[in-house]
Amino acid sequence: MNFRDNIYSEVKTKKAVSTIRSISSGRRHVIKISNIAAEKTNYLSKRAKTKNLISAPTDRIAIFANEYIPNHFTNEEWIKYSLLINGKSYDIVPLNSNKPGVKIIKYSKFKDGESHAIILEEPIKEAYLTITIITPDPNETPYLSNLKVVSGKGV
């Protein structure tokens, strides 16, 4: 089989000038991919709950998480976090986010008036994290990665 290619050589006038050349050494190859099927995933809104995250009583707890929310999503809360601390539930946002809300839950004898913190009257003995991811439709979803629960004692 002979192939023909077009050569455009007139640069000054920018007119397409074609010259047809036969290439006798050309070969045609077919690439066949077997057993691959395109699939479409259907995403659903889901909720996940962890086991107890605390092994010894601690004073402070927060979360760190990387979120990806596509730009065309509306300004709603697509990923929600809730910490069940000593039997009481608190909504929380990641420390590294710019979302407004509570970022740390801590035990302290003094109320310091921090708007991003909830002050507890007793040390944290148990903590369960619940994450809810809401999908706007079955074809796309927000993305969560690098989730860390940070806990420790005050100095």
For residues 25 and 111, is the Cβ–Cβ distance under 8 A?
Answer: no
Distance, CA of 85 to CA of 102 (rounded, Å): 14
Handedness of CA 101, 106, 150, 82 (dihedral sign): negative
> Domain residue spans in the chain?
45-152
Q: Where are the beta strands (DSSP E) in 10-59?
A: 20-23, 46-49
Distance, CA of 116 to CA of 97 (rounded, Å): 12
Helix (H) / strand (E) element for 4: namely strand 3-6
Whole-model pTM above 0.75? no
At 137, phi and psi to the nearest 5? Answer: -155, 170
**pLDDT computed for residue 15 by the predictor:** 63
Instruction: Give the strands of the sheet with 117-120, arranged side by side.
Output: 117-120, 104-107, 60-68, 143-152
Condensed to tens digits (0 to 9), the pLDDT of residues 15-42 reads 666 677 777 777 777 777 777 777 778 8
Q: Which region among 40-44, 52-56, 82-86, 128-132 has the lowest average model confidence (pLDDT)?
A: 40-44
**Short-list 95, 91, 149, 151, CA closest to 123:** 151
**pLDDT computed for residue 10 by the predictor:** 47
Split at pLDDT 50, 70, 90, the class of 82 is: very high
Whether residue 94 is predicted with pLDDT greater than 80 in this model: the reply is yes
25-51 burial: b if 16+ Cβ within 10 Å, else e: eeeeeeeeeeeeeeeeeeeeeeeeeee
Whether residue 6 is predicted with pLDDT greater than 80 in this model: the reply is no
For residues 62 and 104, is the Cβ–Cβ distance under 8 A?
Answer: yes
Split at pLDDT 50, 70, 90, the class of 2 is: very low
Whether residue 88 is predicted with pLDDT greater than 90 in this model: the reply is yes
For residues 27 and 122, is the Cβ–Cβ distance under 8 A?
Answer: no
**pLDDT computed for residue 17 by the predictor:** 63
Q: What is the mean pLDDT of the chain?
A: 84
**pLDDT computed for residue 33 by the predictor:** 75
Whether residue 50 is predicted with pLDDT greater than 60 in this model: the reply is yes
